[in-house]
Structure 1
């Protein structure tokens, strides 16, 4: 028998942020690490390209601000969702309190990244 009044779930929101964070972390973060952590220090990309003025201009542009916010916030949502469900898999049933703590921490990091970007 089909339930005519199904209970609404908030899981699609968390799974959406989980998927976006995982995709960002898998596709964008390695390129960022390659450029900033390997190519610039090795001199393959000119250090002048990463001067303070150029990086500050990038960070204060709308595209740069969104990039930095997404780089900080999306992987955090992914990690906290994985942590929340990983605890359940390990038979640590934190319930609603664990869910609130995990997602609050991800929301806090997201909010702080937005605040710090707008302070630049």
Structure 2
């Protein structure tokens, strides 16, 4: 028999943020680390290209701000969702309090990223 009134779940929201964060961390973060951590120190990219003034002017644009927010916020959602489900794997069932704690942490740090990017 088909249940005509299924119980609604909030898991698709968290899995969506988990997937977005994992994708960002897998595809964008390595390129960012390669450019900022290898190419610039080796002198392949001119250090003046990464001067404070140029980076600051990039971050204050909408694209640059969204890039910085995505770099901070999306992997944080991924990590907190993994932590939440990892606790279950370790038989640490924290219930609703654990769920609220991990997702509040991700939301709080995402909010801080937004505030610091757009308010500064």
| TM-score in terms of structure 2 length | 0.99
**Which residue of 2 is the match for residue 101 of structure 1?**
101
DSSP 3-state at the match of 2:118: helix
Unpaired runs of 5+ residues, structure 1, are none
What do the CA deviations read for 1:27-51 (whole angstroms, capped 9, x no partner)?
Answer: 0000000011111011110000001
Aligned pair count? Answer: 120
- Spell out structure 1 runs of 4+ moving beyond 3 A: none
**Which residue of 2 is the match for residue 27 of structure 1?**
27
What do the CA deviations read for 1:58-106 (whole angstroms, capped 9, x no partner)?
Answer: 0000000000000000000000000000000110000110000000000
* Correspondence 1:16-95 to 2 at 5 A: 16-95=16-95
| CA RMSD, 1 decimal | 0.5
Unpaired runs of 5+ residues, structure 2, are none
Give the C-alpha shift of residue 119 in structure 1: 2.4
| TM-score in terms of structure 1 length | 0.99
DSSP 3-state at the match of 1:28: helix
